[in-house]
Amino acid sequence: MLSGAYCALTVIGVASLAFLDPAETTFIPMCPCRLLTGLYCPGCGSLRAIHAMTHLRIDRAFGYNPLLVLFVPLFIWFFAANLVTACWGPEKIKFSLPPAFAKSLLLIIVAYFVIRNIPAYPFTLLQPHSIQ
């Protein structure tokens, strides 16, 4: 049940971002981390990156949030595992992350958070920016 809800919300969210450009919308709030601290969180630029990817602008998506673009295969795998679970039950697929893999992902995300906030070139390239 939860897997089906996750899949439905994912499809609705991605479809919404395909039609709605977050860069031109005023009702999508600013990132709370950016608003309160002035720092770019690991997710900053993700909505614009997803919008760009739905229009097959991978270069633009990479400019907004390179980590998100690199994690797309992982997100697709997670979505597919949840879809299989929702349609055929949990006995059809065993979805779990080994603890070492989960810890590595967490370490990568924390390191990305720190590195993208270093105010010096080339680290500033990791901050959300537009590629025309």
**Interval 35-66: pLDDT, tens:** 999 999 999 999 999 999 999 999 999 999 99
User: How confident is the model over 78-91, as a mean pLDDT?
Assistant: 78
**Residue 131 domain-assigned (yes or no):** no
**Among the listed residues 31, 9, 22, 78, the one whose alpha carbon sits nearest the alpha carbon of residue 50:** 22
Report the SS3 class of residue 130.
coil
**Residue 38 domain-assigned (yes or no):** yes
**pLDDT at 1 > cutoff 70:** no
Sequence length of the chain is 132
User: How would residue 72 be classed by pLDDT, with cut points 50, 70 and 90?
Assistant: very high
User: How would residue 71 be classed by pLDDT, with cut points 50, 70 and 90?
Assistant: very high
Q: 48 near 22, Cβ under 8 Å? A: yes
User: How would residue 132 be classed by pLDDT, with cut points 50, 70 and 90?
Assistant: low
User: How confident is the model over 103-108, as a mean pLDDT?
Assistant: 95
**Residue 132 domain-assigned (yes or no):** no
Give the Cα separation of 112 and 80 in Å (integer). Answer: 26
Letter for the amino acid at 26?
T
Report the SS3 class of residue 108.
helix
User: How confident is the model over 95-113, as a mean pLDDT?
Assistant: 91
**Range with the poorest average pLDDT among 3-7, 27-31, 89-93, 126-130:** 89-93
Classify residue 29 by its DSSP letter.
P
In sequence order, what are the residues at sequence separation of 6 or more whose Cβ sits closer than 8 angstroms to the Cβ of residue 105?
74, 97
**Residue 73 domain-assigned (yes or no):** yes
Assessment of whether the complete model's pTM goes beyond 0.85: yes
Count the domains in the chain.
1
Domain, as residue range, for 100: 2-126
